[in-house]
Structure 1
């Protein structure tokens, strides 16, 4: 029986420079798409996956995020304060390790989200997790199911799910901003700013980076002109699956 992660790291401390002028007065995770903040899209997905505690790191306009999440019931939010120094993706996780605990946990980027099709993708990710052979399991999207993505692909996946860098290969897949990671990966990690990319490469070298293609529509919001595209994608996805609307507007309904 698969044990689903009960904790998560939500990466919400970035400066959101490409989202200016919107982010001149607010942090990017509080930008709203179809009436819901990017941060709440992430937290609601975690709630449906049965996550009890989410650590949210903050740096830019931190007080706005702290105020916004104060009333949330599920998951319970713990703030990891990076006000004095932005720690980048891996550095933020290392600082939060005492709160994340010793079991595998989710990592979610607060500037991407998705509309599930069928079984929620985070539940599928947990079912695909294998502690014995994996250090990292990435959720992946193909170019056809992505909205707002202006870059290329990130990884090529072998038949057993093992990943390697795609190096621009158009047949590859995109890292969809959600993963499960085992905390042993950070055993000798330095404190201070550094990126998750180095850990991806180390896991590739060790044969312990794996991927799972997601089901549904993946949406990334990097610039102001991506907002209407994102809202159109949400509307189209909901029109195609009316039952999904109730799930998305009931953030505390856990997938069973």
Structure 2
């Protein structure tokens, strides 16, 4: 890609059930970690990458997200009366995301860049002719606050391979990616997961991956907050 994506979507509509009781009164993207909300950190990274137009979806306590973003330029809200999951949420926002590849970032994760910002590394690795989706992966062994078993292997050609029936896989999906609108051709209506479209892209040989070389943090529970904050401040 010759230029960085000008549009992005931030997924901020989750319920944050594991973060209760904090998320009983505050949406998870607005939970502050080391003095700044996870949503603001995602938006700051996108702004630094040159993104001027950002769609933010919301559902649980969405009025708080709307009020929080009222002073930010270039933000369009996409409220969801019913949760549409990751795929349905992006599909609904497509008319506002332009006709070129765009970033999608989860608002409930944190990352710290390596020598080159992660979004810039994704942009540099994007090939519009051969890819429909490009995922930022992270080594499970270096993830902070993560208790899962991983999502992908990487083939010798750098192509991601699903964990499938294996007990574990060495890489997790970070929630940071570039997608092209054509990925959503023939996507189902309503609620669905982006995993459906990743599998389609993988089958067509049009799913790529970049391995993150910085830090990645999963703030899944209130008990995880102190550890993540200590690592961020360190």
TM value normalised by structure 2: 0.96
**Matched residue, 1:55:** 55
Structure 1: unaligned runs, 5 residues or longer? 237-256
Deviation at 1:171, TM superposition (A): 5.1
For the residues of structure 2 that align with 1:134 and 1:146, how far apart are their CA atoms?
Answer: 26
Secondary structure of 2:130's match? coil
Deviations 1:196-251 (A, max 9, x none): 11111111111111100011110111111111111012012xxxxxxxxxxxxxxx
1:143 aligns with 2:123: no
Equivalent pair of 1:145/1:216 in contact (CA under 8 Å): no
- Equivalenced residue count is 233
**Matched residue, 1:64:** 64
Among residues 106, 110, 125, which one is paired with 1:128 in the alignment? 125
Deviations 1:17-73 (A, max 9, x none): 111000111111000000000101111110111111110001111110001011124
**Matched residue, 1:91:** 88
**Matched residue, 2:42:** 42
Among residues 206, 209, 212, which one is paired with 1:208 in the alignment? 206
Deviation at 1:117, TM superposition (A): 1.6
**Matched residue, 1:10:** 10
Structure 2: unaligned runs, 5 residues or longer? none
1:161 aligns with 2:162: no
Deviation at 1:158, TM superposition (A): 1.8
**Matched residue, 1:183:** 181
CA RMSD of aligned residues (A): 1.3
**Matched residue, 2:31:** 31
Secondary structure of 1:125's match? helix
Equivalent pair of 1:162/1:208 in contact (CA under 8 Å): no
1:108 aligns with 2:105: yes
Secondary structure of 1:107's match? strand
Deviation at 1:144, TM superposition (A): 2.9
**Matched residue, 1:223:** 221
Deviation at 1:2, TM superposition (A): 2.4
Equivalent pair of 1:107/1:181 in contact (CA under 8 Å): yes
For the residues of structure 2 that align with 1:6 and 1:155, how far apart are their CA atoms?
Answer: 28
For the residues of structure 1 that align with 2:69 and 2:128, how far apart are their CA atoms?
Answer: 31
Secondary structure of 2:202's match? helix
Equivalent pair of 2:152/2:169 in contact (CA under 8 Å): no
Moved over 3 A (4+): 167-171
